[in-house]
Amino acid sequence: MASPFVRPYVRPRSPEDYPTGPCFTAGHLVETNASWRSERPVLSVERCTGCLRCYLACPDGAVLRAGAAVRIDYDFCKGCGICAHECKAQAILMIPEEIKDVR
């Protein structure tokens, strides 16, 4: 699955130009994270079981499948912590944004 990407917002000119249905096409984002996140998820590859609960629960589509594993796209992660909450293997830890090196 491809990572989300930023698309320019095109303002509709008439009511017919508005999308129909419940939402936009998946991956339709108009901006990246605005750097207001106070915590970020850090994934422990050793602990990850590949269950994909974090992938399914992420409201922003910032958890991406990478083969049998997952990775986090920090450009679109808002730091909500839902992925860490849903991870039964405790492979995702939320750390303060100002901490740069996590071992």
The answer, as to whether pTM is greater than 0.85, is no
Q: Give pLDDT tens digits for 26-58.
A: 555 566 776 778 999 999 999 999 999 999 999
Q: Which CATH architecture has domain 5-96?
A: 2-Layer Sandwich (3.30)
Does residue 5 surpass a pLDDT of 90? Answer: no
pLDDT of residue 90: 96
Ramachandran bin of 83, using left for φ above 0, alpha for ψ from -120 to 50, beta for the remaining angles: alpha
DSSP state of 94: E
DSSP 12-43: -SSGGGS--SSSPPTTEES----S--SEEEEE
- How much of the chain, in percent, has pLDDT values that exceed 90? 39
Does residue 23 surpass a pLDDT of 70? Answer: no
- How far apart are alpha carbons 101 and 103 in whole angstroms? 7
Does residue 103 surpass a pLDDT of 60? Answer: no
